[in-house]
Amino acid sequence: MVRFVRVGHRPMWILLIEDDVRIRAFIARGLGAEGLTVEETDDGQLGLRRTSVR
């Protein structure tokens, strides 16, 4: 069992980097159902650039 904990009232943002479309969609759906904000990409370099923006 996995449980997600919020820190204060701030929503948690997750960057999901996975090149398999089906696996990425499955994980993103599950995390989204738990109330987490999920941003997805299949490109590691793009993901790295996205982390520097936040």
pLDDT digits (tens, 9 = 90+) for 7-54: 566 667 899 999 999 999 999 999 999 888 899 999 989 888 888 765
Rounded distance, CA 18 to CA 7, Å?
Answer: 26
Q: Are 15 and 44 in contact (CB under 8 A)?
A: no
pLDDT of residue 36: 87
Residues 6+ positions from 24 with CB-CB distance below 8 Å: 16, 18, 40, 42
* Structure-model confidence comparison of residues 44 and 1, the more confident one: 44
The CB density around residue 26, as the number of other CB atoms within 10 Å, is 12
User: What six digits make up the tokens of 43?
Assistant: 């490109």
Q: Are strands 37-41 and 13-17 parallel, antiparallel or unpaired?
A: parallel
The predicted structure's pLDDT at residue 26 = 96
Check residue 7 and give its pLDDT: 59
